[in-house]
Amino acid sequence: MDQEFMREWTNLRAEHTHDRDVANNYGCFNVEACRNCNYVYNARGCISCHNCDSVIECVQCVDCRDCSYCVGLNGAQYHILNHEYTKEGYFARLAELGIDPNVEAFDPLIDGI
């Protein structure tokens, strides 16, 4: 295939997918080890999530924020294992479990972004 074509495709894809492993994610930013996600931000280990922010190890969640280890939620916030918490309770429970809620999939200065 034409090298210029492939270079242009790579640049275009990079503009819309900011994932370290680019595993069928689209429009994602600051994600690590996520698969088949769309418009997911600050996430780690998610599968088939859409329009979520600050989620960890979630599966098939939509429009969620600050959730961890949840499956199939829609519009949820501050959930762990599909159980709702207050904001303070959510972060306290993550700390008890030893889970870091911060996701830093890449360093913009090192990765050239």
Q: Provide the residue-wise pLDDT of the chain in tens; the chain has 113 residues.
A: 568 777 877 776 666 545 444 568 888 889 988 999 999 999 999 999 999 999 999 999 999 999 999 999 999 999 999 999 999 999 999 999 888 998 876 555 555 54
Torsion 68-83-65-52 (CA) sign? positive
Contact yes or no for 43/105 (Cβ under 8 A): no
pLDDT of amino acid 87 = 97
The CA distance from 66 to 17, in Å, is 21
